[in-house]
Structure 1
Amino acid sequence: MRVLVVSWEYPPVVVGGLGRHVDALSRELAGLGHDVTVLTRHPTGTDATSHPTACDSSGPVRVLRVAEDPPLLEFGRDLVAWTLAWNHAALRAALVRLGNWRPDVVHAHDWLAAHAGIGLADVFDVPLAATVHATEAGRNAGRLGTPLQRQVHSVEWWLARRADALVTCSQAMRAEVVRLFAPDAPIAVVPNGIVPRRWAVDAEQVATVRRRWAQGGGPLLVNLGRLEYEKGVQDLLAALPRIRERCAGTRLVVIGTGTQAAMLAEAARSYGIDGAVTFAGHVPDDDLAATLAAADAVVLPSRYEPFGIVALEVAAAGAPLVAARTGGLTEVVGDDAGLSFPPGDVGALAEAVVRTLDDPDAAARRVARARARLTTDFDWARIAARTAEVLRAAQRRPPVALGRPTIASGDLLGAPER
């Protein structure tokens, strides 16, 4: 097949897990013999003079990177306008730069690729597949309280209702998409994947990192992810004093960036644990793998998690996992690959961490079971083959005029109150 992938992030532009997912999936599809073009963008804040539109055909995947247009729009300040602008530029670039190359199917990833994905599928008269990686309602505990949240939800609704085939990364995410959008298209559940060898590090590198983060020789906890409310880092900080009472000298390294960084740093100070917590920000991949491998436990306290690719990275690095029982993270961790706790339950979180630290032999057995699943359930070759089946089976449906969605007030997902 000739597959046109539309994604707002693709390495080196990586905001979250979506960019790495699209990169690995596209390469694997190309490895299966498919002709893959990725339509994506240059880094935010650049323009056509510093980063002109360019098509790179040197690798297994053709990558068409689109320059930002002149209008002075900022991602953080003008999100919807910025998204419309990038999609407009992407649509033009695809029609001008791809020449005689025409896709058999368009595959759009998330709402930030909706306009270009829908437009190109219409222009080329081919099926549109869409992967929904997360939803605005899910990120906000089922509520859409601001105009921006409702705007984003409406684009998600449009993409889900317009697509000829849908993909979600977990059964939990599939149920969320059905409940929020009631799409007519078939929905396939295809998990994210991982390449375990990328996370292998030598013992000396692990020891060096541990000396850096675990000063004093106490237990080392690591949290990895975006610093946003739905990632639940605030719950981990609240639990840390209880953990330190029972496991003296425990230190925590928080890796990642996000809008909640200042709030979380203030929370650490208010709990009197700021001396035991390091907010490391962005950490390069090599140091990240070593840090995970050095951890006595990696804690993922997410309140919302469509999949939880970090859990796979933790398993590949060989670290014990303690994770909230939420969304797709529950499916990734399973019953025997880590300890879990109800999201938002600070006491249960602390207890799960202490159990992990108190019984390293049991933790090692869980790590072994988690790692064993990486080469079966989460192998990229299998995931790409399953995705190719979905793309090949997609059938373009007759165009249907869609009005604007009616967005109910209150909790769209029936989640408990915050």
Structure 2
Amino acid sequence: MKILIVSWEYPPVVVGGLGRHVHHLATELAAAGHEVVVLSRRPSGTDASTHPTVTHISEGVLVVAVAEDPAHFVFGEDMLAWTLAMGHAMVRAGMALHKPGVGEGWQPDVVHAHDWLVAHPAIALAEFYDVPLVSTLHATEAGRHSGWISGRINRQVHSVEWWLANESDSLITCSASMQEEVTELYGPTLPPITVIRNGIDVTTWNFRERGPRSGPPKLLFVGRLEYEKGVQDAIAALPRIRRSHPGTTLAIAGEGTQFTWLYQQARTHRVARAVDFLGNLDHTELLSWLHGADAIVLPSRYEPFGIIALEAAAAGTPLITSTAGGLGEAVVDGVTGMSFQPGDIAGLTSAVREVLDDPAGAQERAVAARARLTSDFDWHQVAEETAHVYAGAKRRVRQPLARPQIPERPLPGR
């Protein structure tokens, strides 16, 4: 098949897990013999004079990295305007693929959108080429904000997500919990939804068994420093953990808007000296920290999937996770890791103590987690299942859509 993937991040422009996901999916599809074009962008804050649009082939994928237009928008200050401008530039680049001398009349069989930020170009290009639109919804605005969609920008983003979901001909979510969330938020006239879990390349995460501990226990968190990631719960649990396991430290890898607040939380709980904020880590640094930690703690309040749980398991790091969303599906409590309810500080503390008190049991669960990865989360299988969705997607008859009714209060159960 000829596949046009539209994503606001793709290496070397990577913001989070979405960029890595799209990269692995695209290269695996190309390896399977499909003709893949990825439409992405140049780094934020650049323009066509310093960072012009470039087209190159990387790992069998034709990557079109689109330059920013000269209009002055800053993502952190003008998010919706910046997103619309990016989409406009992507539409022009995507349509150019059809021109002789540019794409030599290339036309996709399907357009695959990844998240709301590319809703406008993906919808426009699927209409221009008159082909099915498949969309992967990696997260939702409501989920990211515990069900609240009351802010002006929250409502705008939610409406774009709703529009993308209802304009698509097929939808993909990374977990059953996300499938339920999307159905609740954007139904009832949605296209078919297929659950395809995120994948992992285990060859890049060499497994290391734990030897006898030397020194105080070391816990690790990896992720964005945002409220929904629950880092504050790990910090709140640390004084309790240190009472039974003196000297325990918590290393926090990642960046985000809540850094200052989280730093203050460490001071409030009087564990500032035991908490180390590492910032973003490259692959080699992250692997070193994973190998050196007694366990990784992922206390998410909201988590569509949680790719870091797979990466940690592949590296042999014992897993301690909340049951939020995809984490509850990826980690089998007592078998491939230890779990607790989101926001349950006592449960988090208990799970950590069990791992630290029984290193042999933690090692057994780590081995089981690694074994499960090779069968359930293989990228070859992910690409195969995605291609099956492409093949089954049919362009629906379009009907005019009214604006959605947007809830201003938390959704039921949140």
Report if TM-score (shorter chain) is over 0.5. yes
Alignment pair present for 1:101 and 2:106:
yes
Moved more, 82-91 or 331-340: 331-340
Corresponding position of 1:154:
159
Residues 280-327 of structure 1, C-alpha deviations (whole Å, 9 max, x = no match):
001111110121121101000000000111110010010001000111
Q: Shift of the alpha carbon at 1:201?
A: 7.0
Residues 216-235 of structure 1, C-alpha deviations (whole Å, 9 max, x = no match):
82100000000000000001
Rounded Cα–Cα distance in structure 2 between residues aligned with 1:408 and 1:90? 31
Asked if 2 retains the 8 angstrom alpha-carbon contact of 1:141 and 1:415, the reply is no
Q: Shift of the alpha carbon at 1:140?
A: 0.7
Corresponding position of 1:410:
409
Q: Which amino acid aligns with 2:235?
A: L
Rounded Cα–Cα distance in structure 2 between residues aligned with 1:119 and 1:233? 39
Any unmatched runs of 5+ in structure 2? 98-102
Corresponding position of 2:196:
190
Asked if 2 retains the 8 angstrom alpha-carbon contact of 1:244 and 1:250, the reply is yes
Specify the SS of the correspondent of 2:36: strand
Residue identity over aligned pairs, in percent, reads 53
Residues 355-381 of structure 1, C-alpha deviations (whole Å, 9 max, x = no match):
110101111111111001111000000
Specify the SS of the correspondent of 1:57: strand
Residues 173-211 of structure 1, C-alpha deviations (whole Å, 9 max, x = no match):
0000000001431100000000111011789xx99xxxx
Specify the SS of the correspondent of 1:107: strand
Corresponding position of 1:211:
none
Q: CA RMSD in A?
A: 1.6
125, 133, 139: which is aligned to 1:128?
133
Asked if 2 retains the 8 angstrom alpha-carbon contact of 1:2 and 1:102, the reply is yes
Rounded Cα–Cα distance in structure 2 between residues aligned with 1:201 and 1:343? 28
Asked if 2 retains the 8 angstrom alpha-carbon contact of 1:201 and 1:290, the reply is no
Q: Which amino acid aligns with 2:245?
A: C
Residues 87-111 of structure 1, C-alpha deviations (whole Å, 9 max, x = no match):
0000001112434111000000000
Asked if 2 retains the 8 angstrom alpha-carbon contact of 1:167 and 1:189, the reply is yes
134, 148, 151: which is aligned to 1:143?
148
Calculate the TM-score normalised by the size of structure 1. 0.95
Calculate the TM-score normalised by the size of structure 2. 0.96
Rounded Cα–Cα distance in structure 1 between residues aligned with 2:229 and 2:357? 25
Corresponding position of 1:61:
61
Q: For the structure 1 residues 341 and 189, does the alpha-carbon distance in structure 2 shift closer, same or farther, using more than 3 Å as the test?
A: same
Specify the SS of the correspondent of 2:376: coil
Rounded Cα–Cα distance in structure 2 between residues aligned with 1:14 and 1:361? 37
300, 306, 320: which is aligned to 2:298?
300
Specify the SS of the correspondent of 2:47: coil
Rounded Cα–Cα distance in structure 2 between residues aligned with 1:202 and 1:192? 23
Alignment of 1:43-54 (within 5 A): 43-54=43-54
Specify the SS of the correspondent of 2:375: coil
Rounded Cα–Cα distance in structure 1 between residues aligned with 2:336 and 2:58? 40
Asked if 1 retains the 8 angstrom alpha-carbon contact of 2:183 and 2:190, the reply is no
Alignment of 1:3-18 (within 5 A): 3-18=3-18
Q: Which amino acid aligns with 1:368?
A: V
Rounded Cα–Cα distance in structure 2 between residues aligned with 1:112 and 1:261? 24
Rounded Cα–Cα distance in structure 1 between residues aligned with 2:130 and 2:53? 25
Rounded Cα–Cα distance in structure 2 between residues aligned with 1:251 and 1:112? 38
Q: Which amino acid aligns with 1:167?
A: I
Alignment coverage as a number of residue pairs = 407
Specify the SS of the correspondent of 2:50: coil
Rounded Cα–Cα distance in structure 1 between residues aligned with 2:4 and 2:275? 44
Specify the SS of the correspondent of 1:150: helix
Asked if 2 retains the 8 angstrom alpha-carbon contact of 1:325 and 1:342, the reply is yes
Q: Which amino acid aligns with 2:166?
A: R
Alignment of 1:249-398 (within 5 A): 249-335=247-333, 336-398=335-397
Q: Shift of the alpha carbon at 1:58?
A: 4.8
Rounded Cα–Cα distance in structure 2 between residues aligned with 1:365 and 1:27? 33
